[in-house]
Amino acid sequence: MSFALLRPGILRSCSLGFTQPRCALQLKSKGIQYYWLDHPYEKLHAKPSFYDRPQYHLNENSRSITVEGNIAVGKGTFARHLADVLYLKYIPGVNDDNFFIDRNFEPGLDYRDYNKVLPKRLQFYTTEMLYTDKDPIKDGKPLYLQQNYYMYRCLDYWKGCGHLFNTGQGFVMNRSPFATYVFARAMAECGLLSSDARDWLQYYDKHVSSVLFRPHLIVYLRSPVSLSRRNLDKRAVPWESGITDKFLEVIKQVYESEYLDKATRFSEVTTIDVEDYDFNDENDVTYIAEQLCKIDLDQKHLSTDIDTKLIHWRQAMFNTDSKYFSRMRFSNTRVCIERLFGIQVPDDMPEGGLTMAEAKRVVTLLKRDPRMHQWSVLNPWDGGSTLDVLLGRVRHNPLRRTYRYDEDTLKEMAMYRSFGYYSRTVEPVYAID
């Protein structure tokens, strides 16, 4: 079922014909509570928690909501306020800081600072370079950048599902990983990405997204291109002037003509007209949340064999065992990370990254930084330096060892080893013979 939220005056004066479902979203003002919100699940292993059944955690607001829309339409503001009204966890959007700033230091180590001494071809490619380069396909690495965005969105979504099953609190995410092909299509049509790279990115998306649950609810913020242009001008960010109206128009077209139609197969979709609401007004956001609470997000009457609407969540919530195994699955990020690294960018796509010889030059520069030889704070029991452990975040790592674990997994393993409860070692991946 897909419907649109129209003007507030019209919607308040008419009857939608909806009845409040038994297990629909509940407002924070209704007294929704999470008794396991302080449960330190991130520091505990999933398997020993067999005594902690997830059915005691889950409630009406154990839902996944994603906010989609064009650039600069207020997705972050709306998602943050909606999460506050519904008492859900807010997952902000991914930006360059997520994969270029190393939080292991105080202050964080920004890999983009090395661009001052690196030649153009070897620099860490940023979003600013994407929109300012005259020929990104030839001179830049747009595929490398989009793949990093996609990987971190997948990890954020995976961890959000883990938070849902462990604490019962749902989440609102600013742009999900399932909309990756929307930007791939727009970049290809505007000359920011080659057609081969677009096809590979779509194939990569299908390979990885198969392990993710589709969201319960997708909220699409519909707006004209002129509104996005006005908001971009208000930001006054110099490099955002490179975002053309054609690029914004293609994003809007792909969203409304393809993405939403395909998304209705697995999720509930709601369209909101941005010009009719003020997302900084608490009353408007509360009104939208009240209408979202009228959507049936269980769909228990549907068949598990035929209907695909919310099929992943209906199977996960089928009985106690399915809830337990789903919680154990999303509490371990290794499954998602193995999928993310399971397919490598073809060597004949220079826009996907550096060659081995070029990457060695970057590593030579990194080794000259004394901070890279400090003992690793994330995983000191492996005996690796900061360079060995953290360079795995940079996609093209010519070192012999790279760790396919994220920060949470490394911290978890380090904690267990410190008490002698975890004896498994990190498996090295040999990139060079």
Give the C-alpha separation, 427 to 432, whole Å. 15
Q: Are residues 273 and 395 in the same domain?
A: no
Least confident of 203-207, 367-371, 377-381: 377-381
Indicate whether 192 and 50 sit together in one domain. Answer: yes
- 289, 317, 340 — which closes off a domain? 340
Q: Is residue 40 part of a domain?
A: yes
* Residue 388 phi, psi (nearest 5): -65, -40
Mean pLDDT to the nearest integer, 383-412: 41
* Number of domains within the chain: 2
Answer yes or no: do 336 and 359 share one domain. no
Confidence check: pLDDT of 176 > 70:
yes
Domain-embedded: residue 38: yes
pLDDT, residue 310, reads 87
pLDDT at 210 exceeding the cut of 90: no
Q: Residues 329, 370: one domain?
A: no
User: Are residues 58 and 141 both part of a single domain?
Assistant: yes
- Least confident span in 84-93, 296-305, 412-421: 412-421
**Domain match, 386 and 413 both:** yes
Relative orientation angle of helices 142-167 and 195-209, to the nearest 10 degrees: 20
Position 246 confidence tier, pLDDT thresholds 50, 70, 90: very high
Domain that holds residue 379: 355-418
pLDDT digits (tens, 9 = 90+) for 26-77: 787 777 778 777 777 777 666 655 567 777 788 888 999 999 999 999 999 9
Domain end call among 310, 340, 370: 340
**Same domain flag for 274 and 250:** yes
Q: Which of 340, 367, 386 is the last residue of a domain?
A: 340
Tens of pLDDT, residue by residue over 135-169, are: 898 888 899 899 889 988 998 999 999 899 988 99
The rounded percent of the chain whose pLDDT value lies above 70 is 76
pLDDT value of residue 21: 42
124 domain residue, yes or no: yes
Pairing of strands 101-102, 109-110: antiparallel
Q: Which of 292, 288, 294 has its CA nearest to residue 77?
A: 288
How much of the chain is helix, strand and coil, in % rounded to 5? 50, 10, 40
**Domain identity same for 307 and 406:** no
Residue 427 covered by a domain: no
Same domain, 387 and 288: no
| Domain assignment present for 432 | no
Answer whether residue 398 shows pLDDT above 50. no
Separation of alpha carbons 24 and 62, rounded Å: 10
User: Is the domain of 249 the same as that of 398?
Assistant: no
366, 333: one domain: no
Q: Residue 433 domain-assigned?
A: no
Buried b (16+ CB within 10 A) or exposed e, 204-227: bbeebbeebbbbbbbbbbbbbbeb
pLDDT reported for residue 303:
66
Q: Give domain status of residue 350, yes or no.
A: no
Q: Residue 178 is part of a domain; what is its CATH number? A: 3.40.50.300
Question: Which amino acid is residue 35, in one-letter code?
Answer: Y
CA distances from 189 to 2, 105, 160 (A): 29, 40, 32
pLDDT tens profile 268-284 = 999 999 999 999 999 99
Please report the sign of the dihedral spanned by the C-alpha atoms of residue 269, residue 272, residue 274, residue 280.
negative
Q: What integer best gives the mean pLDDT of the chain?
A: 78
Q: How confident is the model at residue 4 (pLDDT cuts 50, 70, 90)?
A: low
pTM over 0.95: no
pLDDT, mean of residues 217-244: 93
pLDDT tens for 279-322 read: 999 999 999 999 999 998 887 667 666 688 888 888 888 888 88
Q: What is the pLDDT of residues 91-115, one digit of tens each?
A: 999 999 888 887 766 667 888 999 9
Which pair of structure tokens corresponds to residue 315?
């199977």
| Domain identity same for 188 and 289 | yes
